[in-house]
Structure 1
Amino acid sequence: MSFGTPWLLLAALAALAALATLLLVLRLVTGWVWSGLRHSPRLLRRLGEHSMSRAVWSWLSHRWPRTTGWLAARLETTRFPGLPLTLLILLALYLASLGFGLLDDLAEGDDLIALDRQFNEALGVVRAEPILHVLGWITALGNTETLVAVTLVAIGFLWVHRRSSFIPGLLLSIIGSQLVTWAGKFLINRPRPDFLTFAEASSPSFPSAHATGAMAVYGFIAYALARDLQRANRRFELAFWATVLIGLIAASRLVLSVHYTSDVLAGLLVGGFWLLAGFTLTEWLRHHQGQTLPGQAVSLPNSD
């Protein structure tokens, strides 16, 4: 069937409408979750101010002063080396453990490979020509040429707007994730799936460089844009739609049949790990420059 077939066009429009509806529903649900998380620090602070909590903490501090002192420093919310750094390290370790687990599943047996092939075959129902045409544009946003251009423009804007403390973190996210991805590609040397569409690729399949690059580049740019916004709802909107963009680029690699599902998941995990590393470096530099955490008031000099 050709692109101009009426029924095919209607099916493509219906699919796009369903996708838009799904994104709106997802936006509402994540908005509710975000609203709940925003109030969690206040609830934890009230719990910590409870008389029983204070009594327990006082007893623990008396028995193990060094341990409780170290723990209090790790859980402090007003400084980056406190709770923010703790959460970033824990999340990075969690992503690393998921990545090694995925690699272990790939090396141990045929179960993951069989599941990848079954899912690739199941995606045949959405490989209509209009959908593939749109996904071709989307997947181009994760090409090396596009990501290099976007990165150079981002560095230029950061430099012009005197936000150079973000540049080392951006470069760390990109360079680190790409080094691991391309080393993994040629060390593992996994063959690509059968090319069932117009899209082709010559490099090994595992992990997906498109998914890795999209996560590292677009994720960090969204962070740089949202970092100093005072309104939490604007930070949420940037994070949500950046996640949608990254997800669409990753999904395009599956529908275009140039990657297996585990390739894309591995790419997202690698990109996510190095994205967190970029966050950590940036926040550490800003901390030593005396800059505040997101949402904190900035103290202004006295005009008297």
Structure 2
Amino acid sequence: MTPLPFWQLLLGFVCLLVVGHIVAWWLWRALAFSGPRLGRGITGLAYRRQFLASLQRRAPRTTRVIGARLSVDRFSGLPLTLFVALALYLIVLAAGLLEDLFEGEELVQFDQHVNQALAVLRDPAFLKLVNGITSLANLETLVAITIVSIGFLWAHRRFSYIPGLLLTVIGSQSIAYIGKYAIDRDRPDFLTFASASTPSFPSGHATGAIAVYGFIIYAIARDMPGVRRRFELGYWGCALIASIAASRAILSVHFASDIAAGLLVGGFWLLSGFALTEFLRQRSDLSR
């Protein structure tokens, strides 16, 4: 398959970012307007007097547990409940991906088809741009960014963020490399100038990108004023993570399922880092 010219690929990439920005902003606004109203409705339903009184009489301990899990005035309530539910969902997705990898040929065939279809993007000039993007998640780069981030957090006395960042980075990279050598999946054929020596599954670049850059986005946006500013930071940060993940498949050093697995692993540890940070922030606020 003949690659498209560089200018067409670059124009398509820019158009994808612009269209994605418009759609994401529309969804963000819809969530911002409807989210609080929906949350109040759910909370109001859960705490209706008749329902609560009846439940308290029949199961007082269960009532206390449900009330604690639905509380919105502290992180250990509804926010932690949602974090745990999402983390469990990521584990289920990762388990399903592993099952498909070991027991079915469909995933292997899908990966091969995707790798072949991406040949249209492998223009030599465009591959240089893609290689520059993928280098942002090299292990050396991620270690340097993590150290610099810790320095900034320390300088700004945001000490409660540092354990969460370390948990996210160390946990995600440890599981990624354990998974690589435990599963020992061969990489796709190297169809470009890029190559790699470690096993393929999961993608360490995708894992590191969502873990490190995701936590940095969270740390900056957590106390940033203005909905639009938080959206812009979140969107362009997520676009960077997605670009790094896609670059691994375009360079033909990972299959699509390797990248998906890396994002799931990194996403799980990112949620763990969020939870630890919010717990430490809550404890710090209570101790003042």
Q: TM-score, normalised by structure 1?
A: 0.88
Which among 269, 276, 283 is matched to residue 274 of structure 1?
A: 269
SS at match of 1:290: helix
Q: Aligned-residue CA RMSD in angstroms?
A: 2.0
Q: In 2, distance between residues paired with 1:55 and 1:238?
A: 44
How far 1:47 moved relative to its partner? 6.0
Could you tell me which amino acid in structure 1 is paired with residue 125 of structure 2?
P
Q: In 1, distance between residues paired with 2:71 and 2:8?
A: 50
Is the 1:116–1:262 Cα contact (8 Å) retained in structure 2?
yes
Q: TM-score, normalised by structure 2?
A: 0.93
Could you tell me which amino acid in structure 2 is paired with residue 101 of structure 1?
G
1:16 aligns with: 10
Q: Cα deviations across residues 110-163 of structure 1 (Å, max 9, x unaligned)?
A: 221111111101111111112101001000001011111111111111111111
Q: In 1, distance between residues paired with 2:117 and 2:93?
A: 25
2:31 aligns with: 37
Which among 158, 174, 181 is matched to residue 186 of structure 1?
A: 181
Which among 246, 254, 263 is matched to residue 251 of structure 1?
A: 246
Q: In 1, distance between residues paired with 2:210 and 2:42?
A: 36
How far 1:31 moved relative to its partner? 1.6
Q: In 1, distance between residues paired with 2:157 and 2:221?
A: 16
Q: Aligned pairs, how many?
A: 284
If you compute each CA radius of gyration, which structure gives the higher value, 1 or 2? 1
2:123 aligns with: 128
Q: In 1, distance between residues paired with 2:258 and 2:111?
A: 9
Is the 2:43–2:70 Cα contact (8 Å) retained in structure 1?
no
How far 1:267 moved relative to its partner? 0.4
How far 1:33 moved relative to its partner? 1.6
Q: Cα deviations across residues 86-122 of structure 1 (Å, max 9, x unaligned)?
A: 1111111100111111011111122211111111011
2:71 aligns with: 76
- Structure 1, gaps ≥5 residues long: 1-6, 292-298, 300-304
Q: In 2, distance between residues paired with 1:42 and 1:24?
A: 30
- Structure 2, gaps ≥5 residues long: none
The reply to whether residue 153 of structure 1 matches residue 148 of structure 2 is yes
Moved more, 160-169 or 27-36: 27-36
Structure with the higher fraction of residues in helix conformation: 2
The reply to whether residue 196 of structure 1 matches residue 191 of structure 2 is yes
1:173 aligns with: 168
